[in-house]
Amino acid sequence: MYRSVDPASVVTTVEQLRNRITERFPGGGLARISEELYQVSLTSAERALWTRRPLLLLRAGMALLTLLIVAGIVATIMTLRVETRVQSGTELVHVDDVGQRA
């Protein structure tokens, strides 16, 4: 199930609650708390919008790192020398014996 929270809706709801509390209990502690909660919701909404932006520099760095890792793997594979032909029966037995120990 996909769940998301719209920051603007949260701010609007908290603002409505703040206004109701301030009308009913003007100057009280609950009014001050509701004002603080409203300020927190504004700050959180701004941060939510900021975190949605893609970090292009980070993405470019990760792409470069991925390319370097792939290039390193390819370079390592290309420098490996693997003997594919058997020159004598003794060598074949020796290779088979090494494979069984592993």
**DSSP letters for 54-97:** --HHHHHHHHHHHHHHHHHHHHHHHH-----S--SHHHHHHHHH
pLDDT over 90 for what percent of the chain? 44
- DSSP structure class, residue 83: -
The reported pLDDT for the residue numbered 18 is: 93
SS3 34: helix
Q: What would the pLDDT profile of 36-50 be if each residue is shown by its tens digit?
A: 999 999 999 999 888
Compute the distance between CA of residue 60 and CA of residue 67 in angstroms, rounded to an integer.
Answer: 11
The reported pLDDT for the residue numbered 20 is: 93
The reported pLDDT for the residue numbered 25 is: 86
| R_g of the chain computed on alpha carbons | 33
